[in-house]
Amino acid sequence: MYIEITAAERFIQEVLDVVTQDLSKTWLFMFGEQDLPALEPLIETLRAHQVKFFGGVFPGIIDQEQKYESGLVLKALPEETVLLTVNGLEQPDFEIEILPQVTQNETPQSALVLLDGLTANVATFLRKLYGAYGDTINYMGGGAGSLSLQQQPCVFNQEGVFQDTALVAFIPAKSTLGIKHGWQKIVEPIMATGTDKNIITELNWDNAFDIYKEVVEVSSGQSFAQHDFFDLAKGYPFGINKEGVEVIVRDPIMVNENGALVCVGEVPQNTSLAILKGEKQSLIDAAGEAALACQQASTKKSNDYLVFDCISRVLFLEDDFGAELQAVKDGLGQPENLSGALTLGEISSYGEGYIEFFNKTIVVGALEV
């Protein structure tokens, strides 16, 4: 359900009118970052009315086949949904202090994960989450934050608004997933011989930007000297090679003063990489394939879908992004309810069930509630 931003008191009342119709539900809030209202008064009001909720602020949000930079998408989750908050992700020694017991009964479980997309140690968090619950749970979600790439508080619950934080909603429902990106390899293999979490310092034992620059400028016929870094880089991400599955994309978003490439998401040392290139139609086709895979994997017809689509796909597709959302709707068979967020990194179970953090990828999930 999409709600347009209006004057503060009127907006809060509009939200209350919806969520207080069923206080047994857990409510997912997804805000677009433009014209964002003050969240603290809304949180205080929701808490006073004993509403169970969590959410994030994203570069954009999705309702049906429309994207919005402002406004709110609201989604009701089942009564038995259990919420987990993990703070301090910027610290390498952070711990998940409380692990809800959600897998002891026979009810299938799914986990919806929202986190600060610009925090450190995302891979470590996902590894710890998977270590606790394994493949008994299907995972989906994405990174919140601002398109400016300036880190700020961006996820919230009854306790306030946070950065360097992950929120997990354990949902008592089976889910199915479709994950695709559509980017194609143009150069491989390239070894990430020097990395520091999400920063690539060396490629093939040479300066990372020098190697990357040569490939991109030859392929594009354009020069980084004449363009903002991201204007060219958005069409040439890295791919982490994985056995038997589609490469996992890493999005270089800036080059620092040392010629190191800063990515959204960690790149392990000595990883085998490819440099990828996108064509608009291949990305649109991949989105439709992800939706179809999700729909076909479902054991019963679902009309309730979530989509987490990378904001950099929007920036790459530009005016053709509407065709991507239409491809998703078509692949799902024109569902009644499709909602989601444009994210800074996407989260999903992948391959043999392991949880991964993606860039420039679309995740489509069906909740069988």
DSSP of 47-68, one letter per residue?
HHTT-EEEEEEESEEEETTEEE
Bridge pairing between strands 248-255 and 261-264: antiparallel
Q: How confident is the model at residue 140 (pLDDT cuts 50, 70, 90)?
A: very high
Give me the pLDDT at residue 349, please: 92
Average pLDDT for 110-135: 93
Average pLDDT of the segment spanning 105-114: 84
pLDDT digits (tens, 9 = 90+) for 305-353: 999 999 999 999 999 999 999 999 999 998 888 999 999 999 999 866 7
- CA–CA separation, 114 and 35 (whole Å): 21
Q: If pLDDT is split at 50, 70 and 90, which confidence band does 104 have?
A: low
pLDDT digits (tens, 9 = 90+) for 141-195: 999 999 998 999 999 999 999 999 999 999 998 899 999 999 999 999 999 999 9
DSSP 368: E
Place of tokens 């990515």: 263
Report the 10 Å Cβ neighbour count for 31: 27
Per-residue pLDDT at 264 exceeds 90 = no
What is the DSSP track for 6-60? Answer: --HHHHHHHHHHHHTT-TTSEEEEEEESBTPPPHHHHHHHHHHTT-EEEEEEESE
Check residue 304 and give its pLDDT.
81
Q: Output the pLDDT for position 105.
A: 64
Radius of gyration of the chain (CA): 20
Confidence of residue 100 (pLDDT cuts 50, 70, 90): confident
pLDDT at 103 over 70: no
Instruction: Determine the longest span between alpha carbons in the chain, in angstroms.
Output: 60
Percent share of the chain, pLDDT over 90: 81
pLDDT computed for residue 39 by the predictor: 96
Range 122-141 average pLDDT: 92
How does the average pLDDT of the chain come out, rounded? Answer: 93
Q: Which of 82-96, 132-146, 186-200, 347-361 has the lowest mean pLDDT?
A: 347-361
What number is the average pLDDT over the span 282-304?
A: 88
CA separation for the pair 120, 34 (Å, rounded): 25
Domain boundaries, the chain: 2-180+283-368, 184-277
Q: What is the pLDDT of residue 106?
A: 67
pLDDT of residue 155: 98
3-class SS letters over 177-219: EEEECCCEEEEEEEEECEEECCEEEEECCEEHHHHHHHHHHHH
* Alpha-carbon span 131 to 135, nearest angstrom: 9
pTM: 0.93
Phi, psi angle pair for 301, to nearest 5°: -65, 120
pLDDT interval class at 98 (50, 70, 90) = confident
pLDDT at residue 297 in the model: 86
